[in-house]
């Protein structure tokens, strides 16, 4: 895409970020799932100790066309940080223009600058386009690993998961 740029987002980008994350949720068949507000975004991404990092892709005209969110974690085995690419969304009209690759390059540079040993990403089983994209960028599926989740805000949160019978 002519004049495409990717940069760390700022609080002034909050409206565009929320809109794109809502569009991603609709695409991922979870409309209404985004609870992030502009205020929580500003507090949690741009506060004194950011909980996550946001990258924004813009057209040459300065129009936001893509977003990524990333979270730093730690690998006790590698004894180095790990970056989890939590969201990557490119507006439909900007797809197949290099915007996704540009965002991923910025995220990778961010991870390298923090001495991360790897970048992890989850892909929905039905999203073949995302799987092909990540494979084309060198990501490999972890065939023996399956994501598990304990939803602490579900309709009936567990009282104490450690007390449950494993069988």
Are 44 and 81 within 8 A, CB to CB?
A: no
* Residue 147 in tokens: 């994501």
Q: What pairing do the DSSP bridges indicate for beta strands 53-58 and 118-121?
A: unpaired
User: In Å, how far are 54, 90, 109, 151 from 114, measured between CA atoms?
Assistant: 15, 25, 9, 30
DSSP helix/strand/coil, 77: coil
Look up residue 160 and give its two tokens. 């104490």
> Pick the catalytic residue: 55, 89, 133, 134?
134
Strand order in the sheet with 118-121: 5-8, 53-58, 64-75, 80-90, 118-121
Active site residue 74: no
DSSP structural state of residue 161: G
Active site residues: 134
């Amino acid at each position: 895409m002519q004049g495409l740029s990717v940069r760390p987002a700022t609080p002034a980008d909050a409206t565009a970020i929320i809109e794109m994350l809502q569009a991603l949720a609709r695409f991922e068949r979870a409309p209404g799932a985004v609870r992030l507000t502009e205020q929580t975004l500003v507090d949690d991404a741009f506060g004194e100790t950011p909980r996550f990092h946001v990258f924004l892709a813009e057209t040459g005209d300065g129009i936001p066309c893509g977003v990524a969110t990333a979270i730093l974690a730690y690998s006790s085995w590698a004894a180095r940080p790990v970056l989890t690419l939590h969201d990557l969304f490119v507006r439909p009209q900007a797809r197949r223009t290099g915007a996704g690759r540009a965002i991923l390059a910025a995220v990778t540079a961010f991870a390298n600058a923090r001495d991360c040993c790897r970048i992890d990403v989850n892909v929905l089983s039905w999203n073949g386009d995302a799987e092909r994209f990540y494979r084309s960028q060198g990501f490999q599926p972890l065939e023996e690993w399956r994501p598990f989740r304990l939803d602490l805000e579900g309709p009936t949160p567990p009282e104490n998961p450690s007390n449950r019978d494993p069988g």
